[in-house]
Amino acid sequence: MAEDCKGQKSRKRRRLTWDVAPPGQPEAYQRDGEDIQCRAPPASVLRRYVSPPRRDDDREGHYVFSLGENLTPRYKILGKMGEGTFGRVLECWDRQTRDYVAIKVVRSISKYRDAAMIEIDVLQCLAEHEKDDSHCVKMLTWFDYRNHICIVFEKLGPSLFDFLKRNRYFPLPVDLVREFGRQLLESVAYMHDLRLIHTDLKPENILLVSSDYVKLPSGKKMQDDINYRCLPKSSAIKLIDFGSTTHDSQAHSSIVSTRHYRAPEIILGLGWSYPCDLWSVGCILVELCTGEALFQTHENLEHLAMMERVLGSLPEHMIRKANKGAEKYFRRSRLNWPEGAVSRESIRAVRRLDQLKNLVARHVDSSRSSLVDLLYGLLKFDPRERLTARQALRHPFFDALS
């Protein structure tokens, strides 16, 4: 990795304040006897202030920009840092604070604007109760500009996914995985204490605070005859992307989480809650240890077959309770595999996997058995048996000498 890991006349900005909660969001809730207000503008109110779409937005509603252009008089656009379903993240220069910032410019489509307002609400709630170990990205401000919700964040480094990718997916040292895991679990525990469920934990949504790295000999040649690997100078990370975050008391959609990190109870239609985040954490830790996503699939039956290959048979009581949409994956209380496979390649993809302990042992010294034990606790099929974030943080793996 030779390069660094880094990724018109404005209208008057309106300052809007709200004293009502959005549909489905409780006015307030209790935590340890403390009143916590998490509020956001309802979409019906917000739309009163929405300007017509810009003619030069692209067909998908993305903001079309030029380098050096102003995003309001305050922010100068320096470049694009990333792009996703929600919109684009732009690196900007803040003329007021004289600092670099990252601005998430949301697509000018109602459902993405509504999701952005939920994210703003969550970010405000997290900031209000911020702790030293929250490890959540800080929102500096937000505004509505030409029909685009713009959320201004502190500028951070690359995501863990980008770092792995630019490092040729070389596995990370177990001590670094420990530091990342501890911070991630502290962030999840903090959110769960506030009765918030992230629902989309993945390496793409975990950012290094700094882009600085060091080169170390790898001990073997990797792709392109490169015989070194890169490690971040700092292990500090922050969690981002709260657009899918859900309050525990809200109605839960049937499908959440990015496929590779989706818990079995979601696939089986059994309902989900806090434990789905811990399953995702388990998948992330395996990926950091091995350099590869644990469950590389895009189809439910194959995904369940991979889970059984790595973790053993699904519990019968979960199979019995599977909703009608998931019943087709089973025959006589067992997974319909390989009979139901869509292709021979699908069968081969499952066979290439191994038991979890063997997958980890290829990259982690056998003396680090506490890591394997932690992973089995995070990847329990039954969400009721899965470790909570607080329990996981007390696991021996996080002892300094483990």
Q: Give catalytic residues, as residue numbers.
A: 200
Give the span between the Cα atoms of 72 and 95, in whole angstroms. Answer: 11
CA angle 177, 180, 181 (to 5 degrees): 80
Cα maximum dimension of the chain: 67
Provide the 3-class DSSP secondary structure of residue 122. helix
| Number of CB atoms found within 10 A of residue 270's CB | 16
Nearest of 152, 374, 138 to residue 238 by alpha carbon: 138
H or E segment at 332?
none
Q: Which residues pair with 237 in a beta bridge?
A: 208
Percentages helix, strand, coil for the chain (3-state, rounded to 5) are 35, 20, 50
DSSP classification of residue 2: -
77, 90 contact by CB (below 8 A): yes
